[in-house]
Structure 1
Amino acid sequence: MTTVDDPATAAERCTPEFRRNPHPVYANLRETAPVCPMRPPHGIDTYLITRYQDARAALADPRLSKDMYGAMDAYRRIFGDSSVALDDHMLNADPPKHTRLRKLVNSEFTPRRVEALRPQIQDIVETLLDGCSAREPVDLLPAFAFPLPITVICELLGVPPDERSQVQEWSTTVAHTGFSKESKQAQQKAEESLHAYFADLLTRKRSRPGDDLLSALTAARDTDGGLTEQELISTAFLLMFAGHKTTAYLIGNAVYHLLTHPAQLRAVQENPELVGQAVEELVRYDGSVESATFRFATEDVEIAGTRIPKGALVQIALSSANRDPLKFDSPDQFDVTRSENAQSAHLGFGHGIHYCLGAPLARLEMQLALTGLFSRFPRVALADPAREAPWMVVPFPAFRGLAELPVVLEPAVL
C-alpha cells in the first residue's frame, strides 16, 4: 500500500488561486496521489479521492457510510449540534432507512410533477429577464441565477411568496458557514429559524393542504410508514437547500463558460436541440458541486493502493473525476457536441443510491434558463471581458461558483 501525507493539499484547496482554477491541482493528484490524506480546516483527517473510476466506485460503496449518526462526533465537530435537527434526511442515511425515505419522497417528487413546472419556470425566467437592465451592466447572479431556482423550489414546496425572501436569507447563511465562532453562531441561529419555520409551515399544510410537494408529503406523514415529523422537516430543508444553491451556481457557471467560449455558444444558438447536451457538458466541465458530501469509513477500505482507516472521513472530488483523461477524451476541452454517452457518464449529479433526487428539475431549469437568456439577448456579453472571473473562496470546496457575474444584455453596436 502507498501512503501519502500532504496536509498542504487541504489548505491549497481553499486559496483564491485554487478557486480560480483547481483543475491543474486535481490533475497532479490523479497522477501522484489519487487517494490523498489531508487535514481540512475542520481539523478531521479526510481522504480525498480524485480519479473517475475510484470516485464512481466510492460513491456506491456501502462501506463508505452516509449515516451522520454513525460519525456523530466528527459530524458535530464540523457542523455543530444545531445541524442535527435539520439533517435527518435521506442524504445522511444508509439503507434500510435511506431506502424508506427515498421511496416516500420519490413517490411524490415525480417526473410528472417536475414537468408540470415547465410553464411556471418559463414564466419565472421571463419575469426575471424583464426586470434586468438591458443596456447597463447587471450582475446576473442576484438578478437571475439565484432567484430562479429559489422561486422554483418554493413553488414546488408550497412556500408562500411573501415568505420566500426570509427563507432564502436563512438558507444562504447556512450555505456560507465557516469555522469561526461568529460564523457558527450565525449558522446555528439560521438553522433554528429554518427548523421552526418548516415546522409551522407543515402545520399550516395540514389544515389547508395545497397542490404542492409539502402538502403531499404531509399527507404521507400521516399514514402508516410515512415520514416522521422530524424527517419531514429535514426533508423540506434538504429539498430547499439542495434545490437552490447548486442550481444557482450551475446557471452562473454555465453562462460564464458559454460567454467565454463563443463558438460553443453559437453552436447552441444555431442548433437549439443541442441545449440538453450542452447542459450535460456544462455539468461535467465545471459543475457547481465540486465535492460530494462527506462519507465515513465503517471499516478499513483500500482504494487505489491506499488504506483508508475505519472512522476516517472521505471526500470525493467530482470536479476532478469529471476531468479524468482515463474516462473522457480531451477532458479540459469544453465541447457541447461531445457524444451523449460521454456526457451521461459524468458524476456531476453523483452516482449510486444517493444520486441527486433533483437532477431532472435542475436539468429543466438549466435548459429553460439558458434558452430564455440567449434567445432574448443573443448578443449578451461579459461587462468586462478582460477581468478575471471572481470565483468564491469557501471554507471547504463543496460548491464551485462565481462570486458575481456582471454582463451587458444588449451591448451597444460600435
Structure 2
Amino acid sequence: MRKRRAGLMIAERTGRLPAPNMTVTLSQWGSITILLMVSAWLTLWSRESIERSLDLARKELAVRRKAEEALRESEGKYRKLVDYTLVGQYIHQDRIFMFCNKRFAEIFGYQDTAEIIGRNIQGFVAPESWKKVIQEIEYRESGEKEFSHYELQVVRKDGSLIQVEVLGSRIEYQGKPANQGSILDVTERRKAEDRLQASLQEKEVLLQEIHHRVKNNMQVISSLLNLQSKHLSDPAAVEMFQECQHRIRTMALVHESLYKSSDLSRIEFGSYLKSLASHLLHFNEVDTRRIRLETALEEVYLDIQTAIPTGLIANELLSNAMKHAFPGKRSGTIELALRPHPEGSYLLSVKDDGIGFPEDLDFRKTESLGLQIVSSLVDQVDGRLEILRDNGTEFRVVFQPPRYPRRTSGQEM
C-alpha cells in the first residue's frame, strides 16, 4: 500500500506516470491513442490524477513534435545550402564516397549524385595526382595536418582531365573517422594564368631586345663620335667629344644592365656604379698605382627613370675627380659610396683627398658644363647637392625616385 501511494505522489508531483503504467503516443494527425497497462494498484489512482498526467504527456509530445518539425525544416535548409553552391562538397570514409552535393557531381560530369556515392575515390583522381592525394589524406589521419589545401588533376565521367583546388579536413561521420572537403574547378583560371604568363614572357623578351638595341645604337653613336674626333686638331674640341662619349656610355650601361637583369624594371645600382667607375678609370687612362678607387656600395635598386640621371651625375663627379683632383704626379684616393638615406631617399657620395675645390667658386653658377649637368639632373631626381671641402672635396647627392605623372591612353607621345 505504501509503494502504491508513493507512486501516486510521484505522478501528481512530476506529471509523469511511473513505469510500467501506461504508454501514450500521438499519431501523425494529432489524435491520441492511449494504451494503458494496468497494474494492481492503478485502481487506487484518482481520476483527476490520471487526467492531469495525460494532459502533461500531451503537452510534452506536442513540444517534441514541434522540435522534430523544426529539425526537418533546418535539415531542408541545410540541404539546399549544400546543393545550390558553386563549390563541390564531399565526404569519404575508408576511401569510399559517402556523400556529395550536386555541384560535386556536375564538376565531374555526372547528372546524379547516386552515380558517385559508394564508389572508390581513386577512380576520380588522375594517376599522376593519386600519390599526392593519399599523402594529404595520411597527413590528416595521422594528425600531422589539421586540413589540406592543394591542387590536383581529376578525371571526369567522359575521361577528360580538369584541374581542381581542394580543401580537406578530418571529421567524424556516423561514429567513424572520415574525410570531408570542398572542391573547386580551376581549369579555366589556370589556362588564363598560363596565357598571361606566356604573354608576359613574350613582352620580357621584347623589352630585353629593346634595351639591347638601344645599348647597341648608343655604342654606334659613341663610335661615330670617336671617329669624328680623330679629324679634330683642337684639344678642347677633342675633349668635348670624349666627354660626350662618356655620357653616352653611361646611359648605354644602364640599358645593358637592364637587359642582362632578371628584373627588367630596375637595376642593382651599386653594381652598375662599380662597372661605371671601372670604365672611367680605363677610358681616362688613370694610373691606378698613383690614384686608388675605393667603393662602399650598398645594394640599392633603381628603375630606369632614376638610374639614367643618377648614373650621369656619378659619371660627371667621378670624371671631374679623376681629371682635376690630382694634378701632376700627385697621388691620392677617390671614394665612391652609395647607401639608403632616411625617408626613402638615397645618398650618393664622390670624395677625393686631392687639391680641393676652389673656395671662391660656386658650383651652382660655374661655367663648367659637367657641373651644370649635375645641377640639372639633381633637380630631376628631386635631390639636393652639397659640397664639403675638408681634406679635399666631397660631393654629396641625396636623391629619391622622381614622381612622373602617369601617361593616359589619350595622351600624345
The answer to whether TM tops 0.5 is no
Higher relative contact order, chain-length normalized (CA < 8 Å, sep 6+) = 1
Between structures 1 and 2, the one with greater helix share: 1
Normalised by the length of structure 1, the TM-score is 0.23
Between structures 1 and 2, the one with greater strand share: 2
Structure of greater Rg = 2
